[in-house]
Structure 1
Amino acid sequence: MKRVELGRTGQTVSQISLGCMLMGTSTDEQTSERILNSYLEAGGDFLDTADCYAWWTSPESTGGESEKLLGRLLKGKRDKVFLATKVSALLTDYAAAHASGKGEPYYEGASAKVIRRGIDASLRRLDTDHIDLYYIHVDDMVTPLEETLEALDEIVRAGKVRYIGWSNVWTWRLERIHALTRQNGWRSAPVAVQQQHSYLRPVAGTRNVAGQDMLDYLAATDDISLAAYSPILGGVYEGRVDKPIWKQYAGPDAEIRLAGLETVAVELGVTKSQVVLAWLQQSERTIPIIGPRTWEHYEDYVPAFDLKLEPHHVKLLGQ
């Protein structure tokens, strides 16, 4: 598995990150441990979770299940992984969220109080003394950025967190975050941004997706890595166009790009989703996050760990 630098930190991580969202809920402990151990043996080390994972999986779930399970599974292995978790998307009203099936408008946000409480709770659940990468999970447009950034700077200086990231954020907000950290000398400038990103181009204006404006910004900034969640779009590349996520990517060039993907997949004897993961890894600034629910799902990802695309494949797939 390839290793890449995270932002311009000097810290390297495996270029494929293991999303642990469903571990402890939809994915049982035995399967979670099997997946984690196989991923580590394959050279992976970048684990991604959040304090809210995964409240929506059952009426009894309230978040924290993934962190608690990882805390147990990582005993004796903590120094082998680069551990990322998130804050701001725990809920203030679980009954209402379960009834509606949506977290919004019940996210607790990114106030200083939430961040201070959240980091200590995550450290306790994960049974560790520090988090390697701490994301604001859902950008809070109400709490002043200055308050959020100062609180993040505080927990970095305290040694509880090494690096800061941001997720589900507009490009203009990312630039504002950087400007404020520079002006105030805070250690809370993001080194990673986590957005939905894949091979198909999103429809313009799609929320929480890395659109062309963000891709251009990241190319120009060059000190922030893009952690790409939902890289295979929940099976869209294998024909699941019945899923709502397909509507976000059903743009004017979708069919052309899918045809090119089919050609490359047939030539290499792999699935289209595996080609997508290999294509995303052409950029050392992009780190796709895989999120297997079952062992079989994980096995489907494995061929992409070291899948090589030849120059003519990359040319056929386009930019």
Structure 2
Amino acid sequence: MGSNNDAVLYDYAPLIRIYKDGRIERLAGNEIVPATISDPKTGVSSKDVIIVPETGVSARLFLPKITHSLDQKLPLLIYIHGGGFCIETPFSPLYNSYVSSLVEEAKVVAVSIHYRRAPEHPLPIAYDDSWAVLQWIASHSNRNGTESWLNNHVDFNRVSMMGDSAGANIAHNMAVRATETPLEGLRFVGLGLVHAFFHEEEPVGPEVSDEEMKAKTIKLWRVMCPSTIGFNDPLINPAACTNLKGLACKRVVVCVAEKDPLIRGPLFYHKTLQKSGWEGELELMEDQGEGHVFHLFNPTNQKAVAMKTRLASFLNTD
């Protein structure tokens, strides 16, 4: 007979398992790779920075190989990782590799945010942590911040945010918060949402047959954000957001994958933003025959390569 310590309260494999005794088992995203100065394959350098010592909120910074003048100012990418709000970090092989490769292709500086993860730190903590990083970035816009890579190499008039899955949800919410509380010195030009985690208020797009996955996703949101008001919560439902019309960026690209069980959420986001009165440029990029965050797990896939090229171009458009 199994021990009471083995009794499972909540099972969301392959992400996380929560036991009745309070123990939390992360089933993926636990490996960490070190930062590197001048990666021999890409020339991209990376380093880790503690931003809020009291909480451990930090980031991995990426700098491409600079072949022109040292005074050259590059666009800034703020990247927010996915993982259901509960797994992965910027330091994992998956995200370190992907963000580094995007930095290499786009020739941008990147700040990959390490927020505190649920359920130990329930939402909205991840949103507040991400906002603290944005405020820290803004403190460099006068070229007198604590981090030389930002002071010396970033064009603060060309700032974009991107994320995948739960990270795309956070990126959107950061753009909304920047609408309500502008960050002096930062000009947001782009928002890239890849396979974003949103609730659809009404059926749009193809029907999703994987009802078990959808039910587990609904339960995941309630476990990660126990204070939620439900699916009318603007954190998860774009239709409940009152500030979409003034979204703090000029362009938005929404990437979806045909076989993603969560595809209806980002399709609904695209439709809702389209009808909101927001006057920026909105693009929908769909990959047929692919699943959720396929580009992370199979980055040499032809469609993953094409997506990265499109996102790199997006980051370099004023």
Q: TM-score range by the shorter chain?
A: 0.3 to 0.5
Q: Which has the higher contact order (CA 8 A, sep 6+)?
A: 1
Structure with greater strand percent: 2
TM-score by length of 1: 0.35
TM-score by length of 2: 0.35
